């Protein structure tokens, strides 16, 4: 059974689940997006797409981010938030987790957390209410990606954007966005990229 994500509960509790870059400055800024030529690791945005948390590893990362973004809240309250997120019936995860495993995970988060969690580098951050359709956003991604030589990083960045927009990642779709052949994508698709592609598609 699929449950609807109860994002309203987080909003009512004034939980922060998004943070824009502060120290990193965009190389190019328009009314629709910011572009970071060298990428930024400072952008956090949870629960932006319909994709749900599908693994323990992903759940722990989400809890670490929530701890980092809500450091002014008490541990007792954050634990309440963590347990709410981990409850399948609240629509954030796709699995039931045993109490002892969740207890251990929460303890690890409080022991390890506080600093910015490891985050994927982002080069393009689309602004809220930008008015762009998916096709228009992908055109922007293609144009800005075209400034750089095709490599694994460029392919991975494009995979992240497709995932952000809730679109399955396929070699043909990547080839179309990056203006190259499917064979070229396959040639650059190393084991790590293939694994990440599977993980991202599972989230969708």
Tokens of 121: 């580098």
Residues 32 and 98 in one domain: yes
pLDDT band of 93, cuts 50, 70, 90: very high
pLDDT tens per residue across span 63-83: 999 999 999 999 999 999 999
Q: How far is CA 187 from CA 32, 151, 156, 194, in A?
A: 33, 10, 14, 11
pLDDT band of 179, cuts 50, 70, 90: confident
DSSP three-state, residue 160 = helix
- 8 Å CB contact between 200 and 170: no
Residues 87 and 142 in one domain: no
Q: Is residue 190 part of a domain?
A: yes
Q: For the chain, what is the domain count? A: 2
Q: Which of 59, 84, 112 lies at the terminal end of a domain, its last residue?
A: 112
Q: Is residue 125 part of a domain?
A: no
Q: What is the pLDDT of residue 134?
A: 84
Q: Which residues contact 105 (CB under 8 A, 6 or more apart)?
A: 56, 59, 60, 63, 86, 97
Q: 151, 160, 25, 7: which is closest to 84 by C-alpha?
A: 7
Residues 61 and 149 in one domain: no
Query: Could you tell me the residue range of the domain that residue 61 belongs to?
Result: 7-36+42-112
Q: C-alpha angle 163/164/170, rounded to 5°?
A: 25
Residues 192 and 159 in one domain: yes
Residues 13 and 83 in one domain: yes
Q: Is residue 103 part of a domain?
A: yes
Tokens of 74: 């008490």
Q: Is residue 197 part of a domain?
A: yes
Q: 78, 69, 142, 136: which is closest to 107 by C-alpha?
A: 78
Phi, psi of 198 (to 5 degrees): -65, -45
Residue 79 is inside which H or E element, if any?
A: helix 75-86
pLDDT band of 204, cuts 50, 70, 90: low
Q: 44, 14, 28, 58: which is closest to 203 by C-alpha?
A: 58
Tokens of 111: 């022991």
Residues 91 and 180 in one domain: no
Question: Does the global pTM surpass 0.75?
Answer: yes
- 8 Å CB contact between 179 and 139: no
Which DSSP letter does residue 33 get?
E
pLDDT band of 151, cuts 50, 70, 90: confident
Residues 89 and 153 in one domain: no
- 8 Å CB contact between 85 and 93: yes
Residues 11 and 105 in one domain: yes
Q: Is residue 165 part of a domain?
A: yes
* Residue listed under structure tokens 């293939």: 194
- 8 Å CB contact between 54 and 95: yes
């Amino acid at each position: 059974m699929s449950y609807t994500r109860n994002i309203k509960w987080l909003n009512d509790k004034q939980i922060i689940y998004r943070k824009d870059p502060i120290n990193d400055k965009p190389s190019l800024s328009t009314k629709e997006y910011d572009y970071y030529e060298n990428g930024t690791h400072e952008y956090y945005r949870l629960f932006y797409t319909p994709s749900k948390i599908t693994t323990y590893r992903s759940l722990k990362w989400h809890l670490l981010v929530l701890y980092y973004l809500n450091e002014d809240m008490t541990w007792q309250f954050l634990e309440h938030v963590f347990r709410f997120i981990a409850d399948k019936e609240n629509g954030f995860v796709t699995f039931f987790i045993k109490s002892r495993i969740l207890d251990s995970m929460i303890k690890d988060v409080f022991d390890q957390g506080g600093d910015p969690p490891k985050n994927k580098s982002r080069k393009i951050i689309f602004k809220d209410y930008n008015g762009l359709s998916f096709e228009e956003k992908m055109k922007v991604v293609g144009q800005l990606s075209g400034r750089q030589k095709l490599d694994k990083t460029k392919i991975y960045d494009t995979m992240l954007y497709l995932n952000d927009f809730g679109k399955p990642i396929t070699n043909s779709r990547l080839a179309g966005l990056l203006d190259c052949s499917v064979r070229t994508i396959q040639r650059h698709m190393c084991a790590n990229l293939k694994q990440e592609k599977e993980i991202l598609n599972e989230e969708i």
